[in-house]
């Protein structure tokens, strides 16, 4: 498997450079194609750290993208994933609490794109290194989320994940969707696996989320995701003709017809339609 690592970052000076170095040191070069750091309009030295690494030339495939205005973590992830050149994505938070050494472990559980098996492998922080209040808030939020969504996810907020790029880009996009990726992948018919991962202490800066702020946003989004899961149906195709053709190929041939012929194609030629 060949992967792109996408790291969203907001004011992570003192963390992001170290994290990039660790990623290149611990993910085999035969696997790692690129690391894409998406700077969500930081006003500290985050961008300078990454650009210095690019200028130094030590890390082939290191890329830096910067938002013109703060757009949120989900937008930063989508920006990086749209720019990625591989079919498999690994993500980590920019604060350095995720351990790049866990990426190969997650990849071992991921199915090849298009094959049967997990399309998303989610990290599971079994030994949290956060403050007591943050751990309590996370435990409560996970319990409420699971009671509503029934997604059986032990740690939806863990930032280290690997998944198929194509599936992510087909999901309905909304701000804060990164908190619900396991539920969204399940909703659209894909298997999800969980792997215990290392959780580390933040070395610099401070968290961008307060417990209250995270809770208020989470409740609003939880209602929306719950509605989406109830209203979404993913049919299972049990037969497709002609034989030897992929379902996608067949579907592209059977385009819906409008009054002027197949959508996206030419309409009836002059003189061949009904006359009024």
Q: Where are the domains of the chain?
A: 3-231
| pLDDT-above-70 percentage for the chain | 80
Quote the CA–CA distance of 168 and 186 in Å, as a whole number: 12
φ, ψ for residue 30, nearest 5 deg: -70, -15
Model-level pTM greater than 0.95?
no
- Position with higher pLDDT, 60 vs 147: 60
CB atoms within 10 A of CB 182: 26
Nearest to 224, CA basis, from 184, 197, 193: 184
In tens, the pLDDT along 224-243 reads 888 888 888 788 888 888 76
Q: What is the radius of gyration, based on Cα positions, of the chain?
A: 22
CB 79 within 8 A of CB 37: no
CB-based burial label for 261 (10 Å; 0-12, 13-18, 19+): middle
HSE of 158, CA atoms in CB hemisphere, 13 A: 33
**In the structure, what pLDDT confidence band is assigned to residue 131 with cuts at 50, 70 and 90?**
low
Burial 39-76 (b: 16+ CB within 10 A, else e): bbebeebbbebbbebeeeeebeebbbbbbeeebbbbbb
- Position with higher pLDDT, 192 vs 238: 192
Q: What is the mean pLDDT of the chain?
A: 85
Three-state DSSP class for residue 40 = coil
Instruction: Look at residue 138 in the predicted model and tell me its pLDDT.
Output: 67
What DSSP designation does 237 have?
P
Fold annotation for 3-231: Spore Coat Polysaccharide Biosynthesis Protein SpsA; Chain A (3.90.550)
Quote the CA–CA distance of 221 and 217 in Å, as a whole number: 6
Q: Which residues partner with 9 through β-bridges?
A: 39
């Amino acid at each position: 498997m060949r992967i792109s690592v996408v790291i969203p970052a907001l004011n992570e000076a003192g963390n992001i450079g170290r994290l990039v170095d660790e990623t290149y040191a611990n993910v085999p070069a035969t696997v790692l194609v690129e690391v894409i750091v998406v700077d969500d309009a930081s006003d500290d030295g985050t961008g300078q750290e990454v650009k210095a690494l690019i200028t130094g030339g030590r890390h082939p495939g290191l890329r830096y993208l910067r938002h013109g205005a703060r757009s949120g973590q989900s937008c930063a992830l989508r920006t990086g994933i749209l720019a990625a050149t591989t079919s498999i994505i690994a993500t980590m938070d920019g604060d350095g609490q995720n351990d790049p050494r866990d990426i190969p472990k997650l990849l071992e559980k991921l199915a090849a794109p298009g094959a049967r098996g997990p399309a998303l492998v989610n990290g599971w922080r079994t030994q949290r290194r956060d403050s007591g209040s943050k751990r309590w808030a996370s435990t409560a939020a996970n319990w409420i989320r699971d009671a509503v969504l029934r997604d059986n996810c032990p740690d939806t907020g863990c930032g280290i994940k690997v998944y198929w790029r194509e599936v992510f880009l087909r999901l309905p996009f909304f701000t804060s969707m990164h908190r619900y990726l396991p539920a969204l992948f399940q909703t659209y018919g894909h298997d999800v696996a969980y792997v215990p991962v290392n959780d580390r202490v933040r070395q610099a800066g401070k968290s961008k989320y307060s417990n209250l702020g995270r809770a208020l946003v989470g409740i609003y989004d939880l209602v929306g995701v719950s509605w989406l899961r109830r209203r979404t149906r993913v049919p299972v195709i049990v037969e497709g003709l002609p034989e030897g053709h992929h379902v996608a190929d067949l579907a592209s041939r059977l385009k819906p017809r409008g009054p002027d012929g197949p959508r996206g194609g030419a309409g009836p030629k002059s003189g061949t339609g009904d006359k009024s």
